[in-house]
Amino acid sequence: MKVSNLQYKFIPNSGQLLISEPFLADPNFRKSVVLLCEHELEGSVGFILNHSTEFRTDDIITGLLSSNFPVFYGGPVEPNTLHFIHKSDQKINESFHLGEGVYWGGDIEEVNELLNKKLANSNDFKFFIGYSGWAVGQLQAEIDQKAWWLGHLNHEAIFTDEISEIWPTCVKNLGSDFAYLADSPEDYNWN
């Protein structure tokens, strides 16, 4: 029996990485890796892991935290909001487990307690202004159009200090069919 016209649908899940294809035109997501934190019927939410800002948490909300963290650009939606992910071994109330010991959000007072008691350190947290959001069906449509590739949660890539290496590392982790694209130029006309 011959089976033809098979279509493979890549369905995203919370805790996966969205890796932009190299020539995605949207400047908000050019060579981006997004940690998908929520993918529900109502839509999707995530944070861009590899776009830094000049801000620190004290610039956003003075005195909120006992440490002054760098702040990343989470995405173009609600850029006046502050969010965080963490990998603390200590459970933080109201946080959502994404996989591999990575969590989204939680009680900010508990973050301060963990830091003050030296039960966590600044490398266990990553803060974002704004977030990336998709309406119902929008993310799946973009994946079907090949604007995004789906990758597995990569603990090391999420919390690395080498943010310029996040996108190429995640592309290489997709396998040999993608690895050569990790070194693609910013402008495809340079090829």
Please report the DSSP string for 142-190 in residue order: HHHTTSEEEE---HHHHH-S-GGGHHHHHHHHT-HHHHGGGG--SSGGG
**Tens of pLDDT along 14-23?**
999 999 999 8
Q: Is residue 75 part of a domain?
A: yes
Using 50, 70 and 90 to split pLDDT, how confident is the model at 190?
very low
| pLDDT surpasses 90 at 7 | no
| d(C-alpha 43, C-alpha 27), whole Å | 21
pLDDT at 8 over 80: no
- Tens of pLDDT along 27-78? 999 999 999 999 998 899 999 999 999 999 999 999 999 999 999 999 999 9
The structure's pTM equals 0.89
Read off the tokens for 53: 């800002």
Exposed / middle / buried, residue 184 (Cβ in 10 Å: 0-12, 13-18, 19+): middle
In a domain, 78, yes or no: yes
> CB-based contacts of 27: which residues, under 8 Å, 6+ apart?
none
State the CATH number of the domain containing residue 67: 3.40.1740.10
Q: What is the mean pLDDT of the chain?
A: 89
Number of domains in the chain: 1
pLDDT of residue 23: 86
Q: How many residues does the chain have?
A: 191
Q: What is the pLDDT of residues 84-118, one digit of tens each?
A: 999 977 889 999 999 989 999 999 999 999 999 99
Structural domain including 110 reads: 28-154
